[in-house]
Amino acid sequence: MNPDLQKLLQLQEADREIQRLNDEVTALPRKVAAIEAKLADTKAAVDKAKAAIKADEAARRKYETSIQDLRQKISKYRDQSLEVKTNEQYKALLHEIEFAERDIRQIEDKILEGMLDADLNEKQLRAAEAELREETAEIEKEKAETRRTTEQDQKQLAEWNAKRDQLRTGIPADTLRHYDRVLKFRKSALAEARDHKCSVCQVMLRPQTYDDVRKNEQILICDSCQRILYYVPPAEPETEQPRPDASNHAEAPAV
Ligand SMILES: [Zn+2]
């Protein structure tokens, strides 16, 4: 194989690895941030459940005070009823007692509803606290993992960058310029020629070009996408039965 082509293939591998590692290094803190956001949500849920429990308790104390007040009123009305002179006054007091008793029943219903709410709030609090414990453990694990992976990635990046720099010094400047330009615009600068086509842009190659590319002896580019073409010879069957090699040549060039 043409040594420049060989180096370009290695350069492409280096560039891809560098890209992948850089992407990974950038993505890792985002992953941690996402878990941290989830953790903040769960903390908010714990606080909300706690606040709801407190509010329920305060409401219950208020209801209980109201019931006490009403009971005192009733007992006062009963005392008064023993001293009234007229039937109307007596009836009026009985009425007041009835009203107060009805109010007490209504408040007792509210207390009961509040107790059901409190059960639910307690359940929600316990669930949120369990989730919080789990997520706290998870984020510590994730942070440690991120630190470890980032360190490894940085180390590999340094190695690949050194390799890349070294490869670039060995490639002619104009070839390198072409490679860089196509890589910049098309995200990849090399394309395998396969089945008479450029395997990336899928455009048919001229028969002469395809024949030349198959020799891997010169730097040839795809007329359509400008990528540098290379050819991977089919793996030689070793001990296996040779398979009929019709598939590679069956396709007629599309017009
Ligand atoms: Zn192409």
Contacts 24+ apart (CB under 8 A), 126-133: 128/42, 128/45, 128/46, 128/49, 129/46, 131/42, 131/45, 132/39, 132/42, 132/43, 132/46
Please tell me the distance between residue 11's alpha carbon and the centre of ligand 1 in angstroms.
19
Please tell me the distance between residue 202's alpha carbon and the centre of ligand 1 in angstroms.
6
Please tell me the distance between residue 228's alpha carbon and the centre of ligand 1 in angstroms.
8
| Whole-number percent of the chain with pLDDT over 90 | 83
At residue 104, the pLDDT reads 97
Averaged confidence pLDDT in the chain: 91
Please tell me the distance between residue 186's alpha carbon and the centre of ligand 1 in angstroms.
10
Is 5 within 8 Å of 151 (Cβ atoms)? no
Residue-wise pLDDT for 210-242, tens only, equals 999 999 999 999 999 999 999 999 887 766 555
Residue-wise pLDDT for 78-124, tens only, equals 999 999 999 999 999 999 999 999 999 999 999 999 999 889 999 99
Residue 254: pLDDT over 80: no
Please tell me the distance between residue 223's alpha carbon and the centre of ligand 1 in angstroms.
7
pLDDT-derived band of residue 35, with 50, 70 and 90 as boundaries? confident
Please tell me the distance between residue 170's alpha carbon and the centre of ligand 1 in angstroms.
25
At residue 241, the pLDDT reads 56
Average the pLDDT over 195-207 and give the result.
96
Please tell me the distance between residue 210's alpha carbon and the centre of ligand 1 in angstroms.
12
Q: For residues 30 and 106, what is the distance between their CA atoms, to the nearest angstrom?
A: 53
At residue 238, the pLDDT reads 67
User: Taking every pair of C-alpha atoms in the chain, what is the biggest distance, in angstroms?
Assistant: 127
Please tell me the distance between residue 157's alpha carbon and the centre of ligand 1 in angstroms.
29
Please tell me the distance between residue 163's alpha carbon and the centre of ligand 1 in angstroms.
27
At residue 74, the pLDDT reads 96
pLDDT-derived band of residue 32, with 50, 70 and 90 as boundaries? confident
| Whole-number percent of the chain with pLDDT over 70 | 93
Please tell me the distance between residue 18's alpha carbon and the centre of ligand 1 in angstroms.
24
Residue 252: pLDDT over 70: no
pLDDT-derived band of residue 250, with 50, 70 and 90 as boundaries? very low
Average the pLDDT over 154-172 and give the result.
97
Higher-pLDDT residue of 254 and 232 is 232
- Which residues are within 5 Å of ligand 1 (an ion), measured at CB? 198, 201, 222, 224-225
Residue 245: enclosing H or E segment and its boundaries?
Answer: none
Q: For residues 193 and 213, what is the distance between their CA atoms, to the nearest angstrom?
A: 7
Please tell me the distance between residue 247's alpha carbon and the centre of ligand 1 in angstroms.
21
Average the pLDDT over 206-213 and give the result.
96
Please tell me the distance between residue 17's alpha carbon and the centre of ligand 1 in angstroms.
22
Is 198 within 8 Å of 190 (Cβ atoms)? no
At residue 80, the pLDDT reads 93
Residue 255: pLDDT over 50: no
Q: For residues 159 and 153, what is the distance between their CA atoms, to the nearest angstrom?
A: 10
Residue 247: pLDDT over 70: no
